[in-house]
Amino acid sequence: MNLRQSLHLPDLPQPIVLILHAVDRERIEGKYVMGRIPEEGGRLAVIFDDSVTFHRDIVEKYGVKPLGGGWCSIDTRTRTLLLSSRSTQYGMEPDRNLTLAVFQAHFANYLCDRTE
């Protein structure tokens, strides 16, 4: 699964970018970062990449200014998505509910939830 999508969410003045990079399989797990893309005028993005070891690897790979991050589990069989944890380097993103809304906008037919 390789995807880059601009999502228009209610109450946000401009679209937010969702970038997903993951191997297609039944259960996908990995780290994600919320950050700003300097080359796009500081546009807000949520980036999930299951190929990295650390949150800083996402920051370096995609060139974003990090605001925080966590862990994401996607189960394609049960159609569930769960956000949890926090980045040890950058902490939790400022608005976990916004991150959840970004994932929900793409995974509309999934049950999306979060834990602390």
Tell me the residue type at 43.
R
Per cent of the chain over pLDDT 70 is 100
116 pLDDT exceeds 80? no
What is the pLDDT at residue 105? 95
Res 1: pLDDT: 86
CB 4 within 8 A of CB 17: yes
Distances, alpha carbon 14 to alpha carbons 8, 64, 73, 74, in Å: 7, 17, 27, 26
Letter string b/e over residues 75-99, b meaning 16 or more CB atoms within 10 A of that residue's CB: eeeeeebbbeebbeebebbeebebb
Please provide the average confidence, as pLDDT, over all residues in the chain: 95
- What are the pLDDT digits (tens) for 29-81? 999 999 999 999 999 999 999 999 999 999 999 999 999 999 999 999 999 99
